Amino acid sequence: DKTRAMDEDLEAELSASKEKGKGGGYSGTGMPGRTLRLLQLKLKSRLGECWRVRGSRKGPGVVPLVVVLVTLLFLTTSFLWRVSDVDPGYCKGTASRDEVAKERYTIVVNTFKRPERLVKSVKHYSRCKAVDSIRISWSEGGEPPRHLAELTTLPVIFDMHANNSINNRFRPLEGLRTEGVFNVDDDILVECSSLYFGFQTWRTARDTLVGYNPRIHSKNSGECKYGYKQWWHVWWGGTYSMVLTKAAFCHHKYFQKYTEELPRDVWMHVHRNKNCEDIAMQFMISNLTGLPPIWVQGSYSDSGVMDFKGGISTGANHYDKRSECVTK
């Protein structure tokens, strides 16, 4: 009777776990371990009853053996599942040109006179899945720190620019092997699993921007002017109209279009003000495709948020300048 009652309790708990999984979706954590423990307990209750010898207090050592085998089977299956999650041809040197173009992406780091952050950026992104190479937009003049290539087995390439312009981050890249590009500032580190999720999302919508920093603009009442809103407006209102390219995926073809087809007065406005290149890129892509950007949630650190010593986004009148860009 005790065994039957225990079985009924386990059945109820298993059913509750399954129903919970149906409602919230499988997150990849929590459920397998819980279910396995319940199965182990159930095996103990049933096999213990079958193998118990009359008059003895314990059955033979079959039950522990079965439990161990079930545990090993679960761990092996979990390991094989993780291995199968790796992209085909992901191992270095085994991917075809077409696989590289579609199944990997290039990191493009925008940096300016912040060497310690650049080092952290290269170290971090070199560990992330499906990264083909790291390109650094270098507008500082002088010799770049080529020793950064020693920090990783991935190619680290400096794209040298003769003039200092914030537009340089969107200049076409020679010798690029991938279609997908992850644009990122040197002060932002996106956690690797979040980055890969963003890449997989972009692969389903390759003609638009996919990023981690949504923003919204609005039209000022009674005026032919627009306002650029801070991030909390997105949080409060639940809507956004753009994602910032300080951490966003896009197709490399838009680098060519930005450089060659963006209206000259827009390009010059961005150059003179050292601001709004992300707004210009967002407007250009949406104008070309009619598609909205895609915001993906992710875990990342942004050390530029607390940079009060020259960071563009922390300067005086930053939001006024951004609002002017949207209006123009």
Cα→Cα distances 277→134, 220, 266, Å:
21, 22, 9
Q: Is 278 a catalytic residue?
A: yes
Residues 6+ away with beta carbon under 8 Å from 161: 137, 138, 139, 168, 171
Catalytic residue among 278, 302, 307, 320: 278
Cβ contact 28:16 at 8 Å: no
**How big is the CA angle at 115 (ends 109 and 121), to the nearest 5 degrees?**
40
Cβ contact 313:320 at 8 Å: no
DSSP 225-281: -EEEPPHHHHHHHS--SEE-TTEEEEETHHHHHHHHHS-HHHHHHHHHHT--HHHHH
How many Cα atoms sit within 13 Å of 125 on the Cβ side? Answer: 36
How many Cα atoms sit within 13 Å of 174 on the Cβ side? Answer: 4
Cα→Cα distances 101→106, 127, 179, 299, 321, Å:
10, 19, 5, 26, 37
Q: Check residue 147 and give left, alpha or beta (phi > 0: left; psi -120 to 50: alpha).
A: alpha
- In which residue are the tokens 């776990």 written? 17
d(CA 51, CA 145): 70
- In which residue are the tokens 């312009």 written? 165
Q: Please identify every residue annotated as catalytic.
A: 278
